Amino acid sequence: MIIGGEIVGDGDFGVIGTCSIENPVNGHVTFAVNPVDVVKLDNEKAVVAVILSEKIDGISIPLILHPKPRLGFTLALRHFYPSAVSSGKIHPSAVVSDGARVHSSVEIGPNAVVERGAVIDDGVIIGAGCYVGQNSTIGQGTRLYPNVTIMHDVSIGTGCIFYPGVVVGGDGFGYEPTDEGNVKMPQVGRVEIGNNVEVGANSTIDRATIDATEISDDVKLDNLVQIAHNVKIGPHTRIAAQSGVSGRAQIGANVVIAGQAGFNNGVKVGDSSVIAGQAGVTGDVRAGKIVSGYPARDHDKVKKVIAATMRLPKLVERVEKLEKIISENK
Amino acid sequence: MIIGGEIVGDGDFGVIGTCSIENPVNGHVTFAVNPVDVVKLDNEKAVVAVILSEKIDGISIPLILHPKPRLGFTLALRHFYPSAVSSGKIHPSAVVSDGARVHSSVEIGPNAVVERGAVIDDGVIIGAGCYVGQNSTIGQGTRLYPNVTIMHDVSIGTGCIFYPGVVVGGDGFGYEPTDEGNVKMPQVGRVEIGNNVEVGANSTIDRATIDATEISDDVKLDNLVQIAHNVKIGPHTRIAAQSGVSGRAQIGANVVIAGQAGFNNGVKVGDSSVIAGQAGVTGDVRAGKIVSGYPARDHDKVKKVIAATMRLPKLVERVEKLEKIISENK
Amino acid sequence: MIIGGEIVGDGDFGVIGTCSIENPVNGHVTFAVNPVDVVKLDNEKAVVAVILSEKIDGISIPLILHPKPRLGFTLALRHFYPSAVSSGKIHPSAVVSDGARVHSSVEIGPNAVVERGAVIDDGVIIGAGCYVGQNSTIGQGTRLYPNVTIMHDVSIGTGCIFYPGVVVGGDGFGYEPTDEGNVKMPQVGRVEIGNNVEVGANSTIDRATIDATEISDDVKLDNLVQIAHNVKIGPHTRIAAQSGVSGRAQIGANVVIAGQAGFNNGVKVGDSSVIAGQAGVTGDVRAGKIVSGYPARDHDKVKKVIAATMRLPKLVERVEKLEKIISENK
Q: Give pLDDT, residue B123.
A: 98
DSSP secondary structure letter of residue C30: E
C21 and C76 in a common domain: yes
Domain for residue C321, yes or no?
Answer: no
- Looking at residues A145-167, what average pLDDT do you find? 98
Chain C: partners with 3+ C-beta pairs within 8 Å: A, B
pLDDT at C90 over 80: yes
Identity of the residue in B19, B91, B259 whose CB atom sits nearest the CB atom of C210: B19
CB proximity B93 to A under 8 Å:
yes
Task: Among A86-90, B41-45, B157-161, name the one with the lowest average pLDDT.
Answer: B41-45
Q: How far apart are CA B28 and CA B34, in angstroms?
A: 18
B319: nearest CA in chain A?
A: A319
Q: Give pLDDT, residue A223.
A: 98
Q: Give the helix ranges, DSSP H, for chain A.
A: 35-43, 69-80, 299-310, 312-329
Interface of B with C in 255-314 (CB under 8 A): 259-260, 277-278, 293-294, 306, 309-310, 312-313
Largest CA distance in chain B: 94
Identity of the residue in A185, A262, A311 whose CB atom sits nearest the CB atom of C74: A185
CB proximity C158 to B under 8 Å:
no
Identity of the residue in A78, A278, A316 whose CB atom sits nearest the CB atom of B315: A316
Chain A: partners with 3+ C-beta pairs within 8 Å: B, C
What is the number of other CB atoms lying within 10 angstroms of the CB of residue B17? 16
What is the number of other CB atoms lying within 10 angstroms of the CB of residue B36? 10
- Is C171 within 8 Å of B163 when comparing Cβ atoms? yes
Q: Which of C80, C114, C141 is the last residue of a domain?
A: C80
Q: Give pLDDT, residue B330.
A: 67
- Is A200 within 8 Å of B176 when comparing Cβ atoms? no
B156 and B229 in a common domain: yes
Estimate the share of chain A in helix, then strand, then coil, as percent rounded to the nearest 5. Answer: 15, 30, 55
Chains B, C: CB contacts within 8 A come to 189
Contacts of B295 in chain A (CB under 8 A): 306
The confidence band for A8, taking pLDDT boundaries of 50, 70 and 90, is confident
For residues B12 and C187, which has the higher predicted lDDT (pLDDT)? Answer: C187
A145 CA: distance to closest CA in chain B (Å): 9
Q: How far apart are CA C73 and CA C183, in angstroms?
A: 54
B222 and B112 in a common domain: yes
C290 and C212 in a common domain: yes
Q: How far apart are CA A110 and CA B112, in angstroms?
A: 9
pLDDT at B93 over 90: yes
Best of A66, A216, A260, A309 to mutate (most B CBs within 10 Å, chain B): A260
Q: Give pLDDT, residue A7.
A: 87
Element (H, E) at C327: helix C312-329
C191 and C76 in a common domain: no
- For the stretch B206-240, pLDDT in tens is 999 999 999 999 999 999 999 999 999 999 999 99
pLDDT at A2 over 80: no
- Is C223 within 8 Å of A204 when comparing Cβ atoms? yes
Domain containing A229 equals 95-301
Q: Give pLDDT, residue B327.
A: 87
B89 CA: distance to closest CA in chain A (Å): 19
- For the stretch A15-28, pLDDT in tens is 899 999 999 999 99
Q: Give pLDDT, residue C107.
A: 98
Q: Which of B22, B50, B80 is the last residue of a domain?
A: B80
C99 and C58 in a common domain: no
Q: How far apart are CA C184 and CA C159, in angstroms?
A: 35
A124 and A175 in a common domain: yes
Residues of A with a known catalytic role: 229
- CA torsion, points A313, A318, A321, A327, in degrees to nearest 10? -110
Q: Give pLDDT, residue B5.
A: 79
What is the number of other CB atoms lying within 10 angstroms of the CB of residue A91? 17
Chain B: partners with 3+ C-beta pairs within 8 Å: A, C
- What does DSSP say about strands C63-65 and C6-8: parallel, antiparallel, or unpaired? antiparallel
Q: Give pLDDT, residue C304.
A: 95
- Is B277 within 8 Å of C278 when comparing Cβ atoms? no
Decide: A67 and B176 in contact? Cβ < 8 Å: no
pLDDT at C321 over 90: yes
B178 CA: distance to closest CA in chain C (Å): 32
- Looking at residues A275-295, what average pLDDT do you find? 98
- For the stretch A34-82, pLDDT in tens is 999 999 999 999 889 999 999 999 899 999 999 999 999 999 999 999 9
User: Which residue type does B300 have?
Assistant: D
CB proximity B19 to C under 8 Å:
yes
A22: nearest CA in chain B?
A: B211
Q: How far apart are CA A149 and CA B167, in angstroms?
A: 14
User: Which residue type does A119 have?
Assistant: V
What is the number of other CB atoms lying within 10 angstroms of the CB of residue C328? 7
Q: Which of B80, B104, B122 is the last residue of a domain?
A: B80
- Looking at residues B303-309, what average pLDDT do you find? 95
Domain for residue A329, yes or no?
Answer: no
- For the stretch C279-307, pLDDT in tens is 999 999 999 999 999 999 999 999 999 99
3-class secondary-structure state, position B147: coil
CATH number of the domain residue C282 falls in: 2.160.10.10
The confidence band for B322, taking pLDDT boundaries of 50, 70 and 90, is very high
pLDDT at A144 over 90: yes
Q: Give pLDDT, residue A328.
A: 86
Decide: B290 and B274 in contact? Cβ < 8 Å: yes
- Is A246 within 8 Å of C241 when comparing Cβ atoms? yes
Q: How far apart are CA B52 and CA B317, in angstroms?
A: 52
- For the stretch A167-194, pLDDT in tens is 999 999 999 999 999 999 999 999 999 9
A164 and A136 in a common domain: yes
Identity of the residue in B149, B210, B318 whose CB atom sits nearest the CB atom of A164: B149
How open is the CA angle C20-C25-C30, to the nearest 5 degrees?
Answer: 35
How open is the CA angle A164-A168-A169, to the nearest 5 degrees?
Answer: 155
pLDDT at B2 over 80: no
Identify which of B54, B33, B24 has the alpha carbon closest to the alpha carbon of residue B15: B24
- Looking at residues A113-119, what average pLDDT do you find? 98
Element (H, E) at C297: strand C297-298
- Domain count for chain B: 2
The confidence band for B126, taking pLDDT boundaries of 50, 70 and 90, is very high
A161: nearest CA in chain B?
A: B171
- Is C186 within 8 Å of B23 when comparing Cβ atoms? no
Give me chain B's average pLDDT, please.
Answer: 95
Domain for residue A38, yes or no?
Answer: yes
How open is the CA angle A287-A293-A298, to the nearest 5 degrees?
Answer: 35
Task: Among B123-137, C2-16, C19-33, name the one with the lowest average pLDDT.
Answer: C2-16
Q: How far apart are CA B114 and CA B95, in angstroms?
A: 6
Contacts of B246 in chain A (CB under 8 A): 240-241, 259, 277
Q: Give pLDDT, residue B238.
A: 98
A162 and A268 in a common domain: yes
- Looking at residues C45-64, what average pLDDT do you find? 92
DSSP secondary structure letter of residue C207: P
Largest CA distance in chain C: 94
Domain for residue B318, yes or no?
Answer: no
Q: Give pLDDT, residue A329.
A: 79
Domain for residue B143, yes or no?
Answer: yes
Decide: A204 and C202 in contact? Cβ < 8 Å: yes
pLDDT at C73 over 70: yes
B235 and B121 in a common domain: yes
- Is C322 within 8 Å of A322 when comparing Cβ atoms? yes
Domain for residue C62, yes or no?
Answer: yes
Q: How far apart are CA B97 and CA A68, in angstroms?
A: 42
Contacts of C68 in chain A (CB under 8 A): 176
Crossing angle of the two packed helices A312-329 and C312-329, in degrees rounded to 10: 30
For residues B136 and C12, which has the higher predicted lDDT (pLDDT)? Answer: B136
Catalytic residue of the set B66, B103, B152, B229: B229
- For the stretch B263-301, pLDDT in tens is 999 999 999 999 999 999 999 999 999 999 999 999 999
3-class secondary-structure state, position C137: strand
Domain for residue C228, yes or no?
Answer: yes
CATH number of the domain residue B29 falls in: 3.40.1390.10
C216 and C69 in a common domain: no
The confidence band for C5, taking pLDDT boundaries of 50, 70 and 90, is confident
CB proximity C182 to B under 8 Å:
yes
Q: Give pLDDT, residue B1.
A: 60
pLDDT at C139 over 90: yes
- What does DSSP say about strands B28-31 and B137-138: parallel, antiparallel, or unpaired? unpaired
Q: Give the helix ranges, DSSP H, for chain B.
A: 35-43, 69-80, 299-310, 312-329
Phi, psi of C33 (to 5 degrees): -95, -35
Decide: A246 and A221 in contact? Cβ < 8 Å: no
- Looking at residues A140-167, what average pLDDT do you find? 98
Identify which of B33, B65, B34 has the alpha carbon closest to the alpha carbon of residue B49: B65
Residues of C with a known catalytic role: 229
For residues C6 and C264, which has the higher predicted lDDT (pLDDT)? Answer: C264
CB proximity B25 to C under 8 Å:
no
The confidence band for C2, taking pLDDT boundaries of 50, 70 and 90, is confident
Interface of A with C in 123-142 (CB under 8 A): 129, 131, 133
For the ranges B6-10, C1-5, C250-254, the maximum mean pLDDT occurs at C250-254
Question: How large a percentage of chain A has pLDDT more than 70?
Answer: 98
CB proximity A327 to B under 8 Å:
no
Interface of B with C in 31-60 (CB under 8 A): none
- Looking at residues A201-215, what average pLDDT do you find? 98
Domain for residue A309, yes or no?
Answer: no
C114 and C74 in a common domain: no
Handedness of CA A94, A99, A104, A105 (dihedral sign): negative
- For the stretch C109-119, pLDDT in tens is 999 999 999 99
